[in-house]
């Protein structure tokens, strides 16, 4: 039996946050995947505003196709889009007054009833791993929300929003040396604020 050897290409998530002015894009760092066979791309997404917007947030995976000579006509000529995905465009529901303690499986909100078994996003003081997080409510009693798992951070007066997503995609890396990600809006001149977290789980080897 062959046993797959798994690893994480990105030890820390690539956080691409608070996007974006119209026609603006944010690029990740370049990842060397020359020794990897395949990967699962994990894109966690959340809208940060409750205003209606026709904009969809786009995640693209680009691969390096630099010629053997190492020369290209321009920096972008070396990169080709191999995958792209669109986020939902729905307006999230907002719940204010989030209060909870790191390690707890419950938190409280000021009012309202979040939909259970759907991804939500708690926006804390900062939009990063140390200040915000994705949660899935599994029970709501009054203003107390029970989540799957436990909170990573402590909150006081924070905001919970619906409309979050955790998307997963498989990518063959057998003929790819380097890849990077770009996130942007698909509508020129229209702003949409979102939080995006990208992680890459790799298949490193097949052990006989």
Residues 152 and 173 placed together within one structural domain of the fold: no
Residues 64 and 44 placed together within one structural domain of the fold: yes
CA distances from 3 to 6, 18, 37, 202, 204 (A): 9, 40, 13, 14, 11
Residues 62 and 157 placed together within one structural domain of the fold: no
Number of domains in the chain: 2
Find the mean pLDDT for residues 144-165.
95
DSSP 131: T
> Would you place residue 152 in the very low, low, confident or very high pLDDT band (cuts 50, 70, 90)?
very high
Residues 28 and 59 placed together within one structural domain of the fold: yes
> Taking all residues of the chain, what is their mean pLDDT, rounded to a whole number?
76
Residues 98 and 81 placed together within one structural domain of the fold: no
Q: What percent of the chain has pLDDT over 70?
A: 71
Give the tens place of pLDDT for each residue, 82-93. 777 777 667 889
Angle at CA of residue 179, ends 174 and 182, nearest 5° = 140
177 phi-psi bin (left φ>0, alpha ψ -120 to 50, beta other): alpha
Q: In the structure encoding, which two tokens stand for residue 62, read together?
A: 């680009």
**Distance, CA of 16 to CA of 128 (rounded, Å):** 9
**Residue 68, C-beta contacts closer than 8 angstroms, at least 6 positions apart:** none
CA nearest neighbour of 127 among 197, 60, 55, 184: 197
Whether pLDDT at 5 is above 50: no
Residues 22 and 114 placed together within one structural domain of the fold: no
Q: In the structure encoding, which two tokens stand for residue 2, read together?
A: 């062959």
- Residue 193's DSSP bridge partners are none
Residues 138 and 42 placed together within one structural domain of the fold: no
CA nearest neighbour of 181 among 191, 193, 171: 171
Q: Helix, strand, or coil here: 78? A: helix
Residues 53 and 108 placed together within one structural domain of the fold: no
Residues 78 and 138 placed together within one structural domain of the fold: no
DSSP 33: -
Whether pLDDT at 76 is above 80: no
The more confidently predicted of residues 17 and 130 is: 130
Residues 13 and 40 placed together within one structural domain of the fold: yes
Q: Which domain holds residue 57?
A: 3-90+164-207
Q: Which of 11-25, 35-49, 76-90 has the lowest mean pLDDT?
A: 11-25
Residues 12 and 54 placed together within one structural domain of the fold: yes
**Distance, CA of 94 to CA of 164 (rounded, Å):** 12
CATH of the domain at 83: 2.60.120.680
The more confidently predicted of residues 97 and 92 is: 97
Residues 18 and 60 placed together within one structural domain of the fold: yes
Q: What is the pLDDT of residue 205?
A: 57
Q: What percent of the chain has pLDDT over 90?
A: 29
163 phi-psi bin (left φ>0, alpha ψ -120 to 50, beta other): left
């Amino acid at each position: 039996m062959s046993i797959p050897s798994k690893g994480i290409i990105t030890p820390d998530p690539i956080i691409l946050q608070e996007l974006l002015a119209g026609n603006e894009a944010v690029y990740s760092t370049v990842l060397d995947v020359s020794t990897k066979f395949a990967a699962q791309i994990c894109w966690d997404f959340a809208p940060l505003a409750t205003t209606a917007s026709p904009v969809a947030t786009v995640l693209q995976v680009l691969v390096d196709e630099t010629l053997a000579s190492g020369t290209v006509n321009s920096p972008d000529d070396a990169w080709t889009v191999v995958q792209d995905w669109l986020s939902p465009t729905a307006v999230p529901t907002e719940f204010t007054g989030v209060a909870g303690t790191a390690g707890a499986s419950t938190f409280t909100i000021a009012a309202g009833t979040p939909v259970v078994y759907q991804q939500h996003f708690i926006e804390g003081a900062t939009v990063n791993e140390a200040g915000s997080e994705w949660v899935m409510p599994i029970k709501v009693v009054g203003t107390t929300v029970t989540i799957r798992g436990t909170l990573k951070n402590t909150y006081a007066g924070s905001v919970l929003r619906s409309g979050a997503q955790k998307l997963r995609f498989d990518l063959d890396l057998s003929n790819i040396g380097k890849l990077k990600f770009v996130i942007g809006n698909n509508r020129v001149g229209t702003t949409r604020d979102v939080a995006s977290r990208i992680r890459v789980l790799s298949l490193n080897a097949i052990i006989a």
